[in-house]
Amino acid sequence: MGEGQGSEVVVTYADRLTRLGQEYLDRYFAAFGVTLTVLDPGEDTSPEQEFTAALLSLIASFSGRLYGIGSAKQQELVRGAQAVLTSS
């Protein structure tokens, strides 16, 4: 390791670093002599459970954005209506 470089990455939960492909990240870190420490490893899950959790997370994220877009449009409509009402 060079100056200013660490040899350990510490995360609270494994999914804070990556949702999928943890084994690739482990290999990458190992190639550079870096260890990954997960403070709360949680329960062991199957690849199918991990994939399902990641998929649900993506759906929740996109649905939040979708509703956020609707909310922004609604707010714009309300501002437009208020402008028309106050200019009359």
Q: What is the DSSP string of 7-73?
A: SEEEESSGGGT-SS-HHHHHHHHHHTT-EEEES---S---HHHHHHHHHHHHHHHHHHHHHHHHHHH
Q: Are 41 and 14 in contact (CB under 8 A)?
A: yes
Its domain, for residue 54, covers 45-88
Structural domains in the chain (count): 2
Q: Are residues 38 and 49 in the same domain?
A: no
Please check whether residues 22 and 55 belong to one and the same domain: no
Q: Judging by DSSP bridges, how do beta strands 8-11 and 35-38 pair with one another? A: parallel
pLDDT tens for each residue of 24-78: 888 998 998 998 888 877 677 777 877 777 787 778 777 777 777 667 776 777 6
Together in a domain, 27 and 65: no
Q: Which residue has the higher pLDDT, 30 or 14?
A: 30
